[in-house]
Amino acid sequence: MIAGGITEGLEGKLGIRGWRWLFIVEGALTSAWAICAYFILLDFPANTTKFTARERELAVARIQHDSLAVRTDGPELGHVKALVLALRNWRLWAFTVGYMVIVGSSTLSYFYPTLVKGLGYSSRDAQYMTVPIYMVAFVATAFTGYFMDRFSHNRGWALAGWLSLALLCSAIICGVYDFKARYVLLVFMAAGLWASNALALSYASSTFGAMPNETRAIALAFVNALGNLASIYGAYLFPSDQAPKYLQGFGVITGMCALGIVTYVFLQVMLTRRPVTKMVL
């Protein structure tokens, strides 16, 4: 909302439309921070030169104590062999499906202002009314991160639980046309989806920890890349001709959440039977 006001002012002075300025500002800040991150973020503890030998040993021991089964030795595989090993691993495809479901469902956020307008708010007020949605999602994400750090072996159940909440809200929205009730359901639905997003990536990262380092890097990039492809088709889930009910969009999200629940329950059960410390590639 603040960015919208800034871009409107820039539009008046420089002649470039506000939505273009929004992308320019966001892209410039992201690029600038990426440069800063290069100097701030550390390499893997066993490889970084910013730690002493004792500090590196302690950092690796802490990671292993958390049962993340990170490999710190072994020969370099090369990019092609690492890619083949990643693609042959069933865990990669399961996590990819699960993350695509979450990102695809989260494209609902593109349409928050449009959905909120049904309450009778104007364009700017509708933007303000999206704030509670993100605030509740923030609390849910922080809550999830805090407890999953302590109960890391239950990430699959937690993901299935949040997606079940999102599925339930989405299914009810399909049959409830009172906009106030829909708004409340939308708040809880968004909380479930946003909390699942970060947790899904941390779950994948810890599971891939027993892979060789090159394979692990490729696997994480693969999950992230294919998962975010969902942003493309997700943008077409809520066509304007289906307003104000948007049954197609909420129906598809309900189905995707169901697939996500099955996927993460499957991962929880299989990874419990075959812990990542004994992963066979």
pLDDT at position 1 over 70: no
Residue 11 lies in a domain: no
Rounded distance, CA 102 to CA 174, Å? 19
Nearest to 127 by CA among 143, 150, 111, 142: 111
pLDDT at position 160 over 60: yes
Report CA torsion sign: 134, 193, 157, 253: positive
Tell me which residue has tokens 């590639």: 281
Stronger pLDDT, 16 or 187, i.e. the higher one? 187
- The tokens for 269 are 């059960």
Residue 253 lies in a domain: yes
One-letter amino acid at 202 equals S
Residue 36 lies in a domain: no
Nearest to 219 by CA among 86, 105, 114: 86
pLDDT-wise least confident of 17-21, 58-62, 67-71, 98-102: 67-71
Report CA dihedral (61, 67, 68, 69) to the nearest 10 degrees.
80
Q: For a pLDDT cut of 70, what percent of the chain falls above it?
A: 84
Residue 151 lies in a domain: yes
Rounded distance, CA 151 to CA 147, Å? 6
Rounded distance, CA 91 to CA 222, Å? 12
Diameter of the chain measured on Cα atoms? 63
Residue 16 lies in a domain: no
Structurally, how many domains does the chain consist of? 1
Task: Map residue 146 onto helix, strand or coil.
Answer: helix
Q: What is the CATH number of the domain that holds 107?
A: 1.20.1250.20
pLDDT-wise least confident of 2-11, 21-30, 41-50, 262-271: 2-11
Stronger pLDDT, 133 or 64, i.e. the higher one? 133
Residue 152 lies in a domain: yes
The residue segments making up the domain with residue 169 are: 77-278
Residue 57 lies in a domain: no
The per-residue pLDDT for range 223-257, each reduced to its tens digit, is 998 988 887 887 788 887 877 778 888 899 999 99
Residue 130 lies in a domain: yes
Residue 280 confidence (pLDDT): 42
Tell me the pTM: 0.73
The CA R_g of the chain, rounded to the nearest whole Å, is 21
Rounded distance, CA 74 to CA 113, Å? 51
The per-residue pLDDT for range 97-150, each reduced to its tens digit, is 999 999 999 888 877 877 777 666 776 777 788 888 899 999 999 999 888 888
The per-residue pLDDT for range 24-56, each reduced to its tens digit, is 888 899 899 989 988 887 777 777 777 788 887
Distances from the Cα of 79 to the Cα of 4, 10, 92, 96, 165, angstroms: 43, 45, 16, 20, 40
pLDDT at position 210 over 60: yes
CB distance 177 to 245 below 8 Å:
yes
